[in-house]
Copies of this chain bind each other. A is one copy, B any other.
Amino acid sequence: MKREKKIQNSPINVWLIEDNLAYSNTISKLINNTSGMKCLKVFSMCEDSIKNFSPEELPDVVLLDIGLPGINGIQCIGKLKQISTDIQIVILTVYDDNDKLFDALCSGASGYLLKDSSPEKIISSIKEVKMGGAPMNMLIANKVLKMFSSFKQTKSDYGLTDREREILQYIVDGLTKQQIADKIFLSFHTVNTHIKNIYNKLHVHSRSGVVTKVFKENII
């Protein structure tokens, strides 16, 4: 009973990592003026946040500005997550380029906000990420989804036949011509011919070339 009450009532412990003093003042005040959350620590560098922490008072949510001096802000995400995966990290930045966004998400960020976000959006994002959500600006969410569609494999085929594709797979697996011949009960010469044709179709002249092409262009 007491425990339950504590969990419900304990404010969300928010840390802020941000080098712009004016902005960090604004945000920390905003948070502290909101019931249900407290901005307990403010750092201007990632290093400080990692050094100055004690295991008892881990943050629930970290608002992190990437692109500030000192070590790479992106790396900071990983280091914080290393301390505890329970720390939810929300990026708060002016950068909206795909590279930073992608790197931040890959490193384990749970949210991504641009600095032009409204105070209401920032507050709701803190609540949302605490509840297991992934707050983002509309623009950011759109970029994230577009990244997926850019993953879409073009599946080049180069007009390979089924047999050629089969043998190509064995080449990628590292088998020699003789091993391939044995495996699919063909003559060494037949395998040799197929490989010749594969090389012609893919315009390569070596095993390394063909394997690299297979992976880079998602053949097979």
Contact = CB atoms under 8 A, between A and B. Distances in A.
Interface of A: 102, 105-111, 128, 131-136, 138-139, 141-142, 144-145, 148-149, 151-152, 171-176, 204-212, 215
A144 B144 contact: yes
Main SS class of interface, A: helix
A131 B152 CA distance: 24
Tally of this chain's copies:
2
B142 A134 contact: yes
Contact of A172 (B107, B136, B212): B212
25 contacts: A105-B145, A105-B149, A107-B149, A107-B152, A108-B149, A109-B145, A128-B138, A132-B139, A133-B138, A133-B139, A133-B141, A133-B142, A134-B141, A134-B144, A144-B145, A172-B208, A174-B205, A174-B209, A175-B208, A176-B206, A206-B207, A207-B207, A208-B210, A211-B211, A215-B215
Given A151-B106, A171-B208, A211-B212, A132 B128 contact: no
Contacts of A141: 133-136, 141
A196 to B, nearest CB: 16
Contact of A106 (B148, B204, B207): B148
